[in-house]
Amino acid sequence: MRVLTILRAMRANLPMLVLAACIGEGLIAFLAMFAFPPLSLAMVFLGLLTLATAPPVGFALERMEALLAYLLQVEDDS
C-alpha cells in the first residue's frame, strides 16, 4: 500500500518536478553563459529533452499505478 501511495504522489507531482528541473537547468545555462558558453547551449537542449520525456514518464507512472492497484485489489480513487 505504501508503494501505491508513493506512486500516486509521484504522478501527481510530476509537473512540479519537471518545472523545477527546467528552472534549475535554465539557471545553470544562465551562469554557464559567462563561464563556458557551449555548456549553456547543451543545457538548453537538455531542457528540451526534459520536456520531451515528461509525457512518457507520466504515462509509465500511471500504468504502474494502475497495475499495482489491480494487483493489490485496491479501488482506483482517481
CA 45 to chain centre: 16
Does position 75 have pLDDT exceeding 90, yes or no? no
Query: For the chain, what is the domain count?
Result: 1
Measure Cα distances from 18 to 33, 37, 50, 61 in Å: 22, 24, 7, 14
Whether residue 50 is contained in a domain is answered as yes
Q: Which domain holds residue 48?
A: 2-71
Residue 49 inside a domain? The answer is yes
Residues 6+ apart with CB under 8 A from 31: none
Q: What is the pLDDT of residues 34-56, one digit of tens each?
A: 999 999 999 999 999 999 999 99
pTM of the model: 0.79
Q: Note the pLDDT tens digit of each residue in 7-32.
A: 999 999 999 999 999 999 999 999 99
Domain-located, residue 35? yes
Q: List the one residue out of 3, 4, 2 whose CA is nearest residue 77.
A: 4
In a domain, 77, yes or no: no
Query: Is residue 32 domain-resident?
Result: yes
Place of cell 504522478: 11
